[in-house]
Structure 1
Amino acid sequence: MNLLVIGFGYSAQRFVDLYGSGFARVTGTVRGADKRAQLARYELDLFDGTAPTAATLATAAEADVVLISAPPGPGDDPALTGFGDAVTNGRARRVVYLSTVGVYGDHQGAWIDEDTPLAPEHDRVQARVRVEEDWRSRIGDRLAVLRLGGIYGPGRNALVELRAGRARRIVKPGQVFNRIHVDDIASAIMGAIRREAGGAWNIVDDEPAPPQDVIAYAASLMGIAPPPEQPLDSVELSPMAKSFYASNRRIRNTRAKQDLGLVFAYPTYRAGLDALWTAGEGRS
């Protein structure tokens, strides 16, 4: 099978590193020449969100599997606008779209699953819902939507943030998040590719937890004092960070385990951080 990755970012690159050898050809797109130079060991084309080249469109038409990791823009989705026709009318038997659990909105800490109605509260996640629906209307059961929790893994985790002095223990009483290790995302992508039918699945860990607890646990592994707790209303946050704290929910992953055969390498943030610490993360 040929694999095309639209948006060769953190999660997509990890998938290719772990599973790329199972494909006859792996190609991808990045937005800029600098990024392509940094990732010179991969076969990557430039796609800046406008019009793909004729060669890139031909590659899309010949792809058996398409992984879409690029986020939508404020207007039309660049991936859909640029590649929709080539993918819809090409060889692709499976399109995997990486979305977000933010599409469910706020549930005040209640448990939810894939049957919970979508209720996106911000432009960024409203765009995600539109893109999910647009791809589904085009390709139907060939579409697999993976709604991801907070992504962490090598180079992107609480250990690294603590070592760099960027970690903060921001507290909103009752607030919890689900997370997901990037290796478990890769496993879920492979499960979605192997599955005959499409659908939408929550790709999150087993244990939604307060964000300040994750920082404290990472600090305990490092043998350092955790940063002091800060009430949410006392700190300055970016609009994106504010949107994370605006929604509070506990997310079930049962259906992904059943349908995709997902077996977590890191079912909790503790298991993930333990492995990252052992691998040397946050030590220098």
Structure 2
Amino acid sequence: MGGKGRLFCFGCGYSARVLASRLKAQGFEVAGTCRTAEGAARLRAEGIEPFIFGNDHPLADPAAALSGTTHLLISTPPTEAGDPVLAAHREAVKAAAPEIRWAGYLSTTGVYGDRQGEWVSEETPLDPNVARSDRRASAEREWQELAGESGLPLHIFRLAGIYGPGRNQLKGVMDGTAKRIVKEGQIFSRIHVEDIANVLEASMAKPNPGAIYNVCDDEPAPAPEVVAYAAELLGRPPPPEIPFEEADLSPMARSFYMASRRVSNARMHEELGVELSYPTYREGLKALLATL
């Protein structure tokens, strides 16, 4: 057992691996799931014990995989059939719950639906308006039910649009994929991947089972504004504005524009004392210049 505990990540992807790296440096053991042998090799190279898990591939020995876990992070997306972890390993998670000191479920601010640019908080009733967000809201309820049955110290984190190294508007401007799509009144919230880890670490240090936190930066902003700023940092002309009605978007990309809201992060600041490393997209993009 590591000096601080053991983190197990169901879904050891972009956000989870940032947290995993930080906790390993503090003396935690870290284990996590991936879908392929190639993914397992990558996790192993990062010092993370890998386990193969997917919608059609349950853990070979879930009790052994979860043994010794003190901190549990769930970032696997739900499917039409529900949450894949609970579908395959509900009883194993319940059995492990008494030893778990903190559990976090990564959800999305999409569960609030379209608020026509108005502010939402954790107290706002959920109103997901696309199937993907509706599945997240259902998964939240499933995990809350399990926590009620087992005593799992569950925290829910509703993440805004994630950006960071390798996933940002600077890269999009450079490779020509960034578009300035204009839809009147459209507002997005976003969060740097390092600040997700900041929030999760703060919650682990100050557990409050049952709590729900919006995880976003301090300044919701229209997407075209962010693209234009990225182009300015690069010394390039911004991509031309494209009216939403004329934009050639995939169904998933189009669904993001069907909801507009400003997401409040007041609880994150007040209860967890989080000071964001990147309080707006401007600080985040400036810092990411060095990673290009």
Structure 1: distance between partners of 2:65 and 2:38:
22
Taking structure 1 as the reference length, the TM-score comes to 0.94
Matched, 1:201 2:209: no
1:173 positional shift? 1.0
Matched, 1:101 2:118: no
Pairwise CA RMSD = 1.4
Could you tell me which of 267, 272, 280 is aligned with 1:255? 267
Structure 2: distance between partners of 1:188 and 1:280:
22
1:102 positional shift? 0.2
Structure 2: distance between partners of 1:196 and 1:218:
37
1:52 positional shift? 2.9
Tell me if structure 2 keeps the 8 A contact 1:57–1:83. no
Structure 2: distance between partners of 1:27 and 1:258:
31
1:223-261 deviation line (CA, Å, top 9, x unaligned): 010100000010121222111100000111000111222
**Could you tell me which residue of structure 2 aligns to residue 235 of structure 1?**
247
Structure 1: distance between partners of 2:195 and 2:280:
11
Total equivalences in the alignment: 280
Tell me if structure 1 keeps the 8 A contact 2:51–2:65. no
**Could you tell me which residue of structure 1 aligns to residue 72 of structure 2?**
66
Matched, 1:39 2:43: yes
- Written as runs of structure 1 = structure 2, the 5 A alignment for 1:1-284 is 1-41=5-45, 42-90=48-96, 91-140=99-148, 142-198=153-209, 199-277=211-289, 279-281=290-292
Structure 1: distance between partners of 2:60 and 2:120:
43
Structure 2: distance between partners of 1:243 and 1:250:
17
1:83 positional shift? 2.8
Tell me if structure 1 keeps the 8 A contact 2:7–2:20. no
SS in 1 for 2:137: helix
Taking structure 2 as the reference length, the TM-score comes to 0.92
Aligned-partner residue type, residue 75 of structure 1: A
1:20 positional shift? 2.6
1:167 positional shift? 0.7
Taking structure 1 as reference, are residues 2 and 40 closer, same or farther at Cα in structure 2, changes over 3 Å only?
closer
Structure 1: distance between partners of 2:256 and 2:122:
19
Unaligned 5+ runs, structure 1: none
Aligned-partner residue type, residue 69 of structure 1: S
Tell me if structure 1 keeps the 8 A contact 2:130–2:255. yes
Q: Percent identity?
A: 44
Which deviates further from its counterpart, 67-76 or 98-107?
A: 67-76
Tell me if structure 2 keeps the 8 A contact 1:3–1:23. no
SS in 2 for 1:120: coil
Structure 1: distance between partners of 2:56 and 2:72:
19
SS in 2 for 1:40: helix
Which deviates further from its counterpart, 50-59 or 218-227?
A: 50-59
Aligned-partner residue type, residue 260 of structure 2: N
Tell me if structure 2 keeps the 8 A contact 1:205–1:268. yes
1:54 positional shift? 4.0
Structure 2: distance between partners of 1:16 and 1:29:
12
